[in-house]
Amino acid sequence: MKTNFPWPEGASNAVAVTVNFDAESYDLLSTTPDRLYGRFSYGRYGVRAGLPRLLDVLAKNEVRSTFFVTGVDAQRHANALQRISEAGHEVASRGASMKRPDAAQELTWLRDGIDAVSQATGKPVLGYRSPDNELTPRTLYHLLELGLIYDSTFQDDDAPYRFALSAGKLAEIPISFALGDAQGFSARHSHQRVLQIWRDETEALLAADALIPLTLHLRGDFGSSRAARIAMLDTYFQTLRARSNAPFVTCADLARWTLETVEVPEEGDPYEVHADTLANTVYRGDLAVKPI
């Protein structure tokens, strides 16, 4: 079944390449700052050795992408974020840190993350992706209050759509679990197996006139910034270019299109649909509120 989404430029699809920066902020989930540069240095590797490689392969293939960065990483790596922005990529928010606060502190946590990224790049932040794929009933409203135009956390569609909330409209740029690097590399799949998974998923999405949302990580462990993985990424881009004329777009560009195009699907507050269920659900890790 085709999506019937009105893609920009009259295309049948669009490609949204996103990068979860996730440097030391991820390592700090399991260690302390004084131990970052010993055993837990994969995040630092991604910034020092991996980022130049990734920027090179994106430039070679004329890919504009969106980097999602926590406030912790933005403060540690302001120069890196400036390089990303100067290369023509969008830099968006992943919250203040990888450790989400309770609901009462969420607005402040979101604002701190947005401010840190904006200070590093000198540009406004327009989008957000949750660091743990979780949202509270107020997250979407907070994003609107803070001036953002899109979220990119949900995995519930093959094309963008709009949330029509009481506070305004917010674009959702959905992602796909299968079109990510962390799943395959965490499971120690070979590069060729990950590449084949991406190709299979991409071929099916092309046939469905769907969004192709490739999610990369900068890290040296389960990310795509090692030399062999960059070579694999280059192969993927070249194959996709030969197979399709789908434009490569940033999430912000796609969000603007989604908000401005009349024919785009629109829905109300997703929490309200499940409010009764969630009110009577004992919280069990990620089972109750993950937007998947």
CATH of the domain at 33: 3.20.20.370
C-alpha–C-alpha distance, residues 179 and 36, integer Å: 29
The reply to whether 4 falls in a domain is no
pLDDT digits (tens, 9 = 90+) for 239-250: 999 999 999 999
Range of the domain at 221: 11-279
Distance of CA 263 to the CA centre of its chain: 24
Please tell me the distance from the alpha carbon of residue 267 to that of residue 180, in angstroms, as a whole number. 26
**Tokens 């699907």 sit on residue:** 265
**What is the structure's pLDDT at 50?**
95
> Taking every pair of C-alpha atoms in the chain, what is the biggest distance, in angstroms?
52
DSSP string, 100-158: ---GGGHHHHHHHHHHHHHHHHSS---EE--TTS---TTHHHHHHHTT--EE----S-S
Q: Map residue 266 onto helix, strand or coil.
A: strand
**What pLDDT was estimated at residue 281?**
63
* 289 has a pLDDT exceeding 70: no
CB distance 140 to 165 below 8 Å: yes
Report the mean per-residue pLDDT for the chain: 91
Per residue in 126-181, pLDDT (tens digit) is 999 999 988 999 999 999 999 999 999 999 999 999 999 999 999 999 999 999 99
Give percent of the chain above pLDDT 90.
77
Segment 33-87, tens digit of pLDDT: 777 766 567 888 899 999 999 999 999 999 999 999 999 999 999 999 999 999 9
Residues 125 and 148: beta-carbon distance below 8 Å: yes
In the predicted structure, residue 202 carries a pLDDT above the cut 90:
yes
**Model pLDDT, residue 9:** 87
**Does residue 46 belong to any structural domain of this protein?**
yes
Is residue 290 situated within a structural domain?
A: no
Q: CA-CA distance, 193 to 147, in Å (whole number)?
A: 41
Answer whether residue 2 is part of any domain.
no
* Residue 185 belongs to a domain: yes
Q: Residue 273 — pLDDT band, cuts 50, 70, 90?
A: confident
Give the number of other CB atoms < 10 A from CB of residue 266: 12
Residue 165: inside a domain, yes or no? yes
Based on the structure, what is the number of domains in the chain? Answer: 1
CA 31 to chain CA centroid, nearest Å: 24
Q: For residue 286, tell me if it sits in a domain.
A: no
Task: Of 7-11, 182-186, 189-193, 283-287, give the lowest mean pLDDT range.
Answer: 283-287
DSSP code for 47: I
Least confident of 31-45, 92-106, 213-227, 269-283: 269-283
Q: Which residue has the tokens 């194959």?
A: 239
DSSP 3-state of 64: coil
Give me the phi and psi of 248, to 5 degrees please. -90, 120
**Would 104 be classed as within a structural domain?**
yes
Percent of the chain with pLDDT over 70: 93
Amino acid occupying residue 56: D
User: For residue 284, what pLDDT is reported?
Assistant: 44
The candidate with the shortest Cα–Cα distance to 84, out of 114, 59, 113, is: 59
